[in-house]
Amino acid sequence: MLRFLVRRSLGAIVIILLISAITFFLFFALPSEPALMSCGKNCTPDALAVINKNLGLDQPVPVQYWHYMQGIFMGRDFTVGHCPAPCFGYSFSNQQPVWGTIVDRFPTTLSITLGGAAVFLVVGVGIGMIAAAFRGTWIDKFFSSLSLVGGALQIYFVGVIALAVLVSGLHWMDNPAYHPITEDPVKWFTGMLIPWLVLSIIFIANYSRMTRSQMVEQLGEDHVRTARAKGLGRRTVFFRYAWRGALAPIVTIFGIDLGSLFGGAIITEFTFSLHGLGRLAVSSVSETDLPTLMAVMLVGCTAIVVANIVVDAAYAVIDPRVRLA
Partner 1 sequence: MTATTPFLSVRDLYVRFATEDGTVKAVDGLSFELERGRTLGIVGESGSGKSVTNLAVLGLHDPRTTEIEGEILLDGQELTGAPESALEKVRGHKAAMIFQDSLTALSPYYTVGRQIAEPFRKHTGATRREARLRAVEMLKRVGIPNPALRVDDYPHQFSGGMRQRAMIAMALVCDPQLLIADEPTTALDVTVQAQILDLLKDLQQQTGSAIILITHDLGVVAHTVDELLVMYAGRAVERGTVREVLGAPRHPYTWGLLGSMPRLTSDVEEPLSPIPGAPPSLLAPPPGCPFHPRCASVAAVGGDRCRTERPELPAGRGAACHLTPERQRAIFAGQIKPRLR
**Site of interaction with partner 1 (CB under 8 A):** 136, 221-234, 241, 244-245, 318-321
Tell me which amino acid residue 216 is. Answer: V
Tell me which amino acid residue 121 is. Answer: L
Q: Residue 34: CB partners within 8 Å, gap ≥ 6?
A: 55, 57, 92, 288, 289, 290
Nearest distance from C-beta of residue 309 to partner 1, angstroms: 22
Decide whether 13 or 317 has the Cβ nearer to partner 1.
317
Check: CB of residue 281 under 8 Å from CB of residue 266: yes
Q: What's the rounded Cα separation, in Å, for the pair 133 and 139?
A: 9
Decide whether 180 or 233 has the Cβ nearer to partner 1.
233
Nearest distance from C-beta of residue 323 to partner 1, angstroms: 10
Nearest distance from C-beta of residue 218 to partner 1, angstroms: 10
Decide whether 183 or 222 has the Cβ nearer to partner 1.
222
Check: CB of residue 217 under 8 Å from CB of residue 174: no
Nearest distance from C-beta of residue 236 to partner 1, angstroms: 8
Nearest distance from C-beta of residue 238 to partner 1, angstroms: 13
Decide whether 191 or 245 has the Cβ nearer to partner 1.
245
Tell me which amino acid residue 7 is. Answer: R
Decide whether 58 or 217 has the Cβ nearer to partner 1.
217
Q: Residue 322 burial (CB < 10 Å; 0-12/13-18/19+)?
A: middle
Nearest distance from C-beta of residue 134 to partner 1, angstroms: 10
Backbone angles phi, psi at 74, to 5 degrees: -125, 0
Check: CB of residue 153 under 8 Å from CB of residue 201: yes
Decide whether 179 or 228 has the Cβ nearer to partner 1.
228
Q: What's the rounded Cα separation, in Å, for the pair 310 and 267?
A: 26
The H-assigned helical ranges of 178-265 are 185-219, 222-229, 234-236, 243-262
